[in-house]
Homo-oligomer: A and B are copies of this chain.
Amino acid sequence: MKTNVVAHRDFRIATIDARLYSSFLEHLGRAIYGGIYEPGHPSADEDGFRRDVLDLVRELDTPYCRYPGGNFVSAYNWEDGVGPRSKRPVRLDLAWRTREANQIGVNEFVDWCKKANTKPMLAVNLGSRGLDAARNFLEYCNHPGGTYWSDLRRKHGWSNPHDVKLWCLGNEMDGPWQVGHKSAYEYGRVADETAKAMRGFDKSLELVVCGSSNSDMKTYPDWEAEVLDQCYDSADHISLHMYFANREKNTLNYLARATKLDRYITTIGGVIDYIKAKKRSKKTIGISFDEWNVWYHSNQQDKEILARDEWPDAPHLLEDVYNFEDVLQVGGILNTFIRRSDRVRIACIAQLVNVIAPIMTEDGGAAWRQTIYYPFYYASRYGRGTALQLVVDGPTYDSDEENDVPYLDVSAVHSEDGRSLTFFAVNRHPNTALDLDVRLEGFGNARVIEQVEMTHGDLEAVNTAARPGTVAPVNVDSAKIEDGRLRTGLKPLSYSVIRLSV
């Protein structure tokens, strides 16, 4: 089985926005408490942040981290999380039926971001609250001082403004499960007015409005058209979310679903262009794909936890243990974002620690890399620069849901300094190796720097605290360059990164 590819230096998709490799931390399960924050942990620093987790997060080099939700934000009072810890109220979180002691709030999160070498992307609550709470939150975070809210922040111990530039206006407001769920018109209106008030404070903010929670929503894609019709001028990005599952245990069907992600982006891209024309606007709204991942392994366990109806603190919710198969899926998702970097300017893996996350921890114990950590790591590290528009010619298959799905899922990124070229490749074929033959055009002399491969005899293999290295990349050297062609074999059901110097 063979696939021919042409990669030409001048045939570009877009300059990749580094924010494609952003992440997400919600007050949910053990993402915050027992995840990034565990004061009694052996590795905890002076602020109670786990150093072992910080190390793993820094390694991922994730430019922005979305916070504090997710569904959580839609009934969240940001004021609960500031001021002396002993006076912060304990709340019931209606989204995840959890007790929230508010020991971490915006100030601590911003501190953590600095340590994690990332930046905050903050969400305001447009569910149970609106414009007024949002503008106060913004002033609290970003004004230097001399006003009620900014002086309160200073009094709380943060004399410098946080200077948060990227804001989400609510979360999944199309979802009937959302506290204060809204119709597209209702949401578009409140988003527009909130956005204008926030810009009244600072014109230069980047504001993300809610698109669909997934492309199977009944309101999709009318939602996006109506919302943008209401707030095209005041918004910068529209948010999309999507999660992937392999409940029926059919690998080919599962891996084909990246195609659906691509179609989702295409559709909303079209909606953006339509409303842009209608508004006679010069600005093109971007896509912020600020929740994406595989999510299904923990569903049954979550059902049981929630059925206990006991309002626990930091329960083991959404703790998907990822297997090797998910490496291939996450690799395909990231390839899609790279290929659609013409539209997608921000993407946040959901989430970062413990909750459907690449990093897992034990309370009081170890932190380790889940299987999906690796494709995210490689994309974040080498997927910055210019996305190339490849010509791909190879065999395809029909899944139950999609036709003409290529066995080879591939993307290529020309680095910012122009000196390296990286291919990210997934061979979806269950039992046949794939001969990859890439014609390199316009790059001059190329040389293989490194070839990394992930494959495993057991699709269900996972990493655990006890065996954290079960699924891990290895270096191989099958790739050769000859006559301007890169040739290598890709094993069945494998994920590969091939880095060239050019």
Contact = CB atoms under 8 A, between A and B. Distances in A.
Interface of A: 75, 89-92, 94-95, 97, 99, 128-129, 131-132, 135, 139, 143, 146-148, 151, 176-177, 179-181, 183, 186, 189, 193, 196-197, 200-201, 311
B179 A94 contact: no
Contacts of A179: 131, 193, 196-197, 200
A135 B128 contact: yes
Given A179-B196, A179-B200, 12 more contacts: A75-B132, A75-B200, A90-B147, A91-B148, A94-B200, A94-B201, A128-B132, A129-B132, A147-B311, A179-B193, A181-B193, A183-B189
Given A128-B131, A129-B132, A135-B128, A147 B99 contact: yes
Q: Report how many copies the assembly holds.
A: 3
A200 B201 CA distance: 34
A86 B123 CA distance: 34
A189 B186 contact: yes
Contacts of A128: 131-132, 135, 197
Contact of A91 (B75, B99, B147): B147
B196 A148 contact: no
Contacts of A177: 196
| Top 4 closest pairs, chain A to chain B, by CB | A94-B200, A89-B148, A90-B147, A128-B132
A135 B92 CA distance: 10
A143 B89 CA distance: 15
Contacts of A132: 75, 128-129
A146 B75 CA distance: 18
A178 to B, nearest CB: 9
B147 A89 contact: yes
Contacts of A89: 147-148
A196 B176 contact: yes
A61 to B, nearest CB: 33
Contact of A90 (B148, B186, B197, B200): B148
A97 to B, nearest CB: 7
Contact of A92 (B92, B129, B139, B183): B139
A197 B95 CA distance: 9
A276 B131 CA distance: 35
B196 A181 contact: yes
A91 B146 CA distance: 9
A147 B92 contact: yes
A171 to B, nearest CB: 15
Given A186-B189, A189-B183, A94 B135 contact: yes
